[in-house]
Amino acid sequence: MIRRRAVLVAALVVVLAGGAAFAQFRVGGGWGRMRRVPPRFPASEAVFDGGFNFCRLMYSSQWRESGGQGWSTDYPDADINFSIRFAELTKTRVSKQATGVPNHFVTRLTDPWLMRCPFLLGSDVGTMSLRDEEVTALRDYLLKGGFFWVDDFWGSHAWDVFEQEMARVLPPGTYPFRDLGPDHPIYRTMFPMTDLPQIPSIQFWRTTGGESSERGGDSAQAHMRGITDAQGRLMVLATHNTDIADAWEREGEDPEYFYTYSPNGYATAVNILLYAMSH
């Protein structure tokens, strides 16, 4: 079974200072901006020290999405900034490097340390293409207790590509995607939410004067959809037609963008991870 870090049990989670940290714009944090950052793999399984580690999926792309970079979209700033805020907003112990920067790792589905990652993020998955051995590995990971959250893919074509790949992993007749509406407990795990926010990339937001739907009418509505196992445990979560991770990646870049999107982006992510890791 996937190792469940006790640090993520909901009983350990509290809001710091009534959530005041949410409203604080932080300058800086451009860990990988303007340069191609190589994937950071764990040196050994020993670096998984019982704290929270952000694990990002590396995959091959079958085509290039406009505005996307495949698996490395939002990497590594989103991973690092979210880990920092997760430690600030909850009592979660986040694993850190000797420098104090949060431990964050990239993993391929065939890497031996995959099972040390109870949480796996996939970005721009409307371009994802899995080999047969990766399909098997992802199926094993999910059925053994893993959680796969995919984000930042837009429009009907991207959804169809991702859904077709997931149909190879989990038979849709047994494991269908279902919409998760505001009545689902994930919307109130810690922060009360009434809907899934639609968050555009900062580039799209700037060039369109504040628009949020990156594919026009084809992505007008943000969706949260999930796949559960036979016991009702959430295994796969898709936040479609929104870029939740850009609210973390770009939080130190523009105060207006931060105050418009980052509080809701962090609230959404904290709710998702706390729900998934405690159910």
DSSP string computed for 227-246: EE-TT--EEEEEEES--TTH
94 CB-near residues (< 8 Å, 6+ apart): 51, 52, 83, 84, 86, 87, 102, 103
Asked if residue 127 lies in contact with residue 69, where contact means CB atoms within 8 angstroms, the answer is no
Per-residue DSSP letters for 128-188? Answer: EE--HHHHHHHHHHHHTT-EEEEE---HHHHHHHHHHHHHHHS-TTTS--EE--TTSGGGG
Q: Where are the domains of the chain?
A: 6-33+40-277
The reported pTM is 0.89
> Both tokens of residue 266?
């962090």
DSSP-derived 3-state class of residue 202 = helix
pLDDT tens over the chain, length 279 residues? 554 433 333 323 333 333 434 557 665 555 555 457 899 999 888 889 999 999 999 999 987 777 778 999 999 999 999 999 999 999 899 999 999 999 999 999 999 999 999 899 999 999 999 999 999 999 999 999 999 999 999 999 999 999 999 999 999 999 999 999 999 999 999 999 999 999 999 999 999 999 999 999 999 999 999 999 999 999 999 999 999 999 999 998 999 999 999 999 999 999 999 999 998
Q: What is the pLDDT of residue 163?
A: 98
Q: What is the pLDDT of residue 43?
A: 87
**CATH of the domain spanning 6-33+40-277, picked from 1.20.58.220, 3.40.50.620, 3.20.20.150, 3.40.50.12140:** 3.40.50.12140
